[in-house]
């Protein structure tokens, strides 16, 4: 049975008076389609696409000034040791003072609010809490379609009266925004903490959290980074304690690529999804409470940092009674300025609503796993089918790991949300390239990098042939990154191409004329910091979001979905990137990114949002394991949040 069959069945259930939680759980994440549009909206021949986000108003014409990125671009000498370190010496979004010694027990730390902070009332007042369960079901049926590319379409025009009342569109009163870009300094006592960082995703998802873990450890905190076992060596080589989370990032990436998102397309995909979900969720509590697997040293988290795809993060924090801080590389907080990256929204009035709809659909899919986890492992009460805070992270302190010069902080994100700047690990500082590679780079003009990182490919040979012919047509040299898709299948490597297995992007990209990649947040950030014009070839999820943004600010052509990649399209994209004015814009943005320290800003935000009094939990007594759950009142009374499969 294919996706449209599941959704049609679900539609019939929604039209009935009641839907049982058991039936909903059995459908996994395959929920939320609009009424009569279900079948035709899932036309398998319909091309993949995601919402177009117009933020051109944020563009400013700034004259090009000299910068380290410019010097790199113009340099004739190749730095064989490493690329210059950029992004860690300067602080712009949230400046912090240098820390010269570790926290002992407790220390006064000088903190600053983010410069990007803006205060404003929400443009649309959502009234979901006032709706009955039946009204919520009707709302989803009227407003939502699931597309074949895995995105959620939210069309408020199809139920204008309901949407108008829900959003209170006629009662909007604009409040002037305080645009003063000043920082407020204050001091706060920060104790030395045991911190568990929970990360689900690919290596690109893990990397910024590893940079943050190292900086937290420099402050004197004890940090454990829990992620997939595939990245054990990567984490431990950075000097950070590792704990394995369930789930296989290769399987997850393959699932997302095949299903064009987080919705399973058939019974076989549902079984894969459920197995990965269960493995991840079941590993969360041990990651926060179990001793070190190598040394046996005891560990019990006093604070948790997590990305949204780590699913049950809020429930573990609730059970342990510890603070939780969310960090992520894509927008997940509702805003009226642009829609959810996993949604298509034709009308701006539906932008903010799209976040709640995506959260709700994800919640319907994982509710069975979460409630089983709460009852069986955490000894907590289950959560209602239509919980008030079904899947939103809006009530949690949240930090976004991108540059405010790429996507400024929306005016309706409050003081609990920070746009921090990119968080770079600077792996290139220790990279030693092979002599053969250095010689190849030196003998000609700067090449075009083309690679898709952790993304699997349905036909690696066909994709490789397209890349080779495109480089030939554009008259350019190229570096092909093999990645997990195993690019580079040909009997003999042409002279104008170098096949690369592994190389830190922060070393490689400054030596490239332009880059073509899948649009993962980390790869996108590294390319922009290097001053590289960029072409995004998105596979799913937030990759479309970053591709749209790159195009809107003039740093690359229109994104080319992997299903539409062609010789003509790619060769034209290469020509677009090599235009002098595109390179100038890329170098100007690189200079702005150079003056940011996203890692310092992330650590500063974590310290700033810690509650005044931190609980120091002790291990629960085994004789009371079956007692009713204790209702933690101080922080998590209204927090019930979780999210979806990784999108980068």
Give the pLDDT score at 69.
Answer: 46
* Separation of alpha carbons 599 and 250, rounded Å: 27
Cβ contact 18:361 at 8 Å: no
Enumerate domains of the chain plus CATH numbers: 194-419 (3.40.50.2000), 435-595 (3.40.50.2000)
- What stretches in the chain show pLDDT beneath 50? 1-104, 116-125, 164, 168-183, 388-389, 617-648
- State the Cα–Cα distance between residues 329 and 525, nearest whole angstrom: 10
Residue 577 neighbours by CB distance under 10 Å: 24
| Residue corresponding to tokens 């998802």 | 205
- Residue 301 burial by CB count (10 A; 0-12/13-18/19+): exposed, middle or buried? buried
The predicted structure's pLDDT at residue 457? 87
- Of 545, 457, 490, which is closest to residue 151 (Cα–Cα)? 545
pLDDT of residue 258: 65
pLDDT in tens, 8-37: 444 444 444 333 333 333 333 333 333 333
Contacts of residue 83, Cβ cutoff 8 Å, sequence gap at least 6: 72, 428, 506, 507, 510, 511, 530
Please tell me whether residue 558 adopts helix, strand or coil conformation: coil
> pTM for the whole thing?
0.76
DSSP 367: H
């Amino acid at each position: 049975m294919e996706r449209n069959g599941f959704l049609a069945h679900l539609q019939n259930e929604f039209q009935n008076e009641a839907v049982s939680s058991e039936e909903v759980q059995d459908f996994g994440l395959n929920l939320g389609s609009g009424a009569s549009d279900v079948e035709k909206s899932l036309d398998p021949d319909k091309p993949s696409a995601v919402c177009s986000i117009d933020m051109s108003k944020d563009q400013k014409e700034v004259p090009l000034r000299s910068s380290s990125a410019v010097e790199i671009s113009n340099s004739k000498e190749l730095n064989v040791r490493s690329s210059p370190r950029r992004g860690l010496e300067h602080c712009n979004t949230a400046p912090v003072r240098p820390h010269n010694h570790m926290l002992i027990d407790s220390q006064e730390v000088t903190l600053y609010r983010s410069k990007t902070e803006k205060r404003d009332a929400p443009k649309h007042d959502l009234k979901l809490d006032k709706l009955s369960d039946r009204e919520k079901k009707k709302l989803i049926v009227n407003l939502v379609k699931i597309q074949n590319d895995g995105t959620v379409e939210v069309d408020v025009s199809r139920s204008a009266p309901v949407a108008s009342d829900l959003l209170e569109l006629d009662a909007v009163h604009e409040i002037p925004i305080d645009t003063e870009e000043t920082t407020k300094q204050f001091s706060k006592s920060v104790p030395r903490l045991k911190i568990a960082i929970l990360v689900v995703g690919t290596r690109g998802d893990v990397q910024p959290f590893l940079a943050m873990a190292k900086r937290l450890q420099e402050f004197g905190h004890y940090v454990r980074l829990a992620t997939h076992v595939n990245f054990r060596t990567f984490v431990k080589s950075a000097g950070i304690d590792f704990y394995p989370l369930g789930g296989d990032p290769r399987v997850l990436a393959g699932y997302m690529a095949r299903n064009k998102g987080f919705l399973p397309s058939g019974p076989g995909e549902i079984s894969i999804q459920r197995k990965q979900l269960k493995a991840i969720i079941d590993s969360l509590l041990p990651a926060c409470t179990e001793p070190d697997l190598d040394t046996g040293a005891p560990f019990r988290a006093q604070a948790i940092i997590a990305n949204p795809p780590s699913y049950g993060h809020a429930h573990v924090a609730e059970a342990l009674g510890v603070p939780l801080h969310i960090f992520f590389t894509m927008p997940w907080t509702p805003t009226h300025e642009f829609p959810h990256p996993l949604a298509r929204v034709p009308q701006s009035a539906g932008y903010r609503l799209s976040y709640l709809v995506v959260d709700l659909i994800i919640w319907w899919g994982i509710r069975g796993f979460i409630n089983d986890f709460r009852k069986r492992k955490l000894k907590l009460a289950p959560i209602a089918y239509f919980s008030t805070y079904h899947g939103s992270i809006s009530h949690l302190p949240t930090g976004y790991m991108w540059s405010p010069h790429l996507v400024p902080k929306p005016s309706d994100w409050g003081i609990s949300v920070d746009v921090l700047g990119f968080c770079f690990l600077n792996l290139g500082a220790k990279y030693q390239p092979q002599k053969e590679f250095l010689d190849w780079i030196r003998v000609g003009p700067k090449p075009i990098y083309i690679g898709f990182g952790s993304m699997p490919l349905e036909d690696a040979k066909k994709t490789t042939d397209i890349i080779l012919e495109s480089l030939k047509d554009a008259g350019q040299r190229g570096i092909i990154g093999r990645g997990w898709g195993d690019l580079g299948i040909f009997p003999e490597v042409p002279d104008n191409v170098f096949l690369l297995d592994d190389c830190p992007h922060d070393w490689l990209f400054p030596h490239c004329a332009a880059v073509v990649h899948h649009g993962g947040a980390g790869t996108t950030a590294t390319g922009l910091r290097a001053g590289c014009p960029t072409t995004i070839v998105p596979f799913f999820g937030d990759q479309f979001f970053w591709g749209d943004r790159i195009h809107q600010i003039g740093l690359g052509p229109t994104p080319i979905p992997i299903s539409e990649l062609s010789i003509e399209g790619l060769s034209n994209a290469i020509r677009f990137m090599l235009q002098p004015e595109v390179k100038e814009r890329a170098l100007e943005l690189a200079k702005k990114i150079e003056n940011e320290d996203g890692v310092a800003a992330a650590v500063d935000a974590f310290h700033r949002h810690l509650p005044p009094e931190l609980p120091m939990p002790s291990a629960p007594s085994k004789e009371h394991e079956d007692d009713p759950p204790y209702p933690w009142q101080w922080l998590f009374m209204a927090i019930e949040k979780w999210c979806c499969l990784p999108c980068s």
